[in-house]
């Protein structure tokens, strides 16, 4: 088989891993982005990348979760499609929530948290997202290449850093 064909080949276990891990990948991205539609876009990008990767199947769950968190954080950091995301969330919220003031405050709070999360060091932000997406300490440790004993510390530091970021950018009232 030519080298280019091997490099561009899609791995044979992709469908099984996709079926098993898709919801988790979308969940991790949705936790960061707050949008199921964008999370599905991120999942598509992550699985495309995974499909051509040499990552062992046993490490797929961790790899995919980290890739979803990084891709979603990069999306926030880059500011791509931010305006359209907020407009789509706002229009969806308007159709569900009758109180406009509550909707605006909720959207502003979520936007502040996402912006603060994007300012954290990458490992802290990813550990926080993965842990709050339901991954165990052991799964987070495996995904990020950390020792299991350091995950709790990393998550606590991330929570403190997030709180500090939120307070630093809070408007005085």
**Tens of pLDDT, residues 54-89:** 999 999 999 999 999 999 988 888 775 555 555 666
**Tens of pLDDT, residues 111-159:** 888 889 999 999 999 999 999 888 889 889 988 989 989 999 999 999 9
Question: Does the pLDDT of residue 172 top 60, yes or no?
Answer: no
Can you give the chain as a three-state secondary structure string? CCHHHHHHCCCCCHHHHHHHHHHHHHHHHHHHHCCHHHHHHHHHHHHHHHHCCCCCHHHHHHHHHHHHHHHHHHHHHHCCCHHHHHHHHHHHHHHHCCCHHHHHHHHHHHHHHHHHHHHCCHHHHHHHHHHHCCCCHHHHHHHHCCCHHHHHHHHHHHHHHHHHHHHHCCCCC
């Amino acid at each position: 088989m030519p080298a280019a064909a091997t490099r561009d080949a899609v791995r044979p276990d992709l469908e099984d891993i996709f079926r098993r891990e898709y919801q988790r990948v979308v969940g991790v991205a949705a936790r960061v982005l707050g949008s199921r539609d964008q999370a599905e876009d991120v999942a598509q990008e992550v699985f495309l990348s995974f499909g051509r990767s040499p990552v062992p199947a046993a490490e797929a769950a961790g790899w995919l979760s980290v890739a979803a968190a990084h891709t979603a954080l990069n999306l926030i950091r880059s500011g791509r499609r931010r305006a359209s995301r907020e407009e789509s969330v706002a229009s969806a919220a308007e159709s569900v929530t009758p109180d406009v003031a509550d909707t605006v405050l909720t959207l502003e709070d979520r936007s502040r948290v996402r912006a603060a999360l994007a300012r954290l060091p990458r490992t802290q932000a990813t550990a926080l997202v993965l842990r709050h997406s339901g991954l165990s300490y052991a799964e987070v440790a495996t995904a990020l290449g950390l020792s299991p004993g350091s995950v709790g510390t990393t998550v606590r530091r991330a929570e403190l850093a997030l709180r500090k970021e939120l307070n630093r950018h809070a408007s005085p009232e």
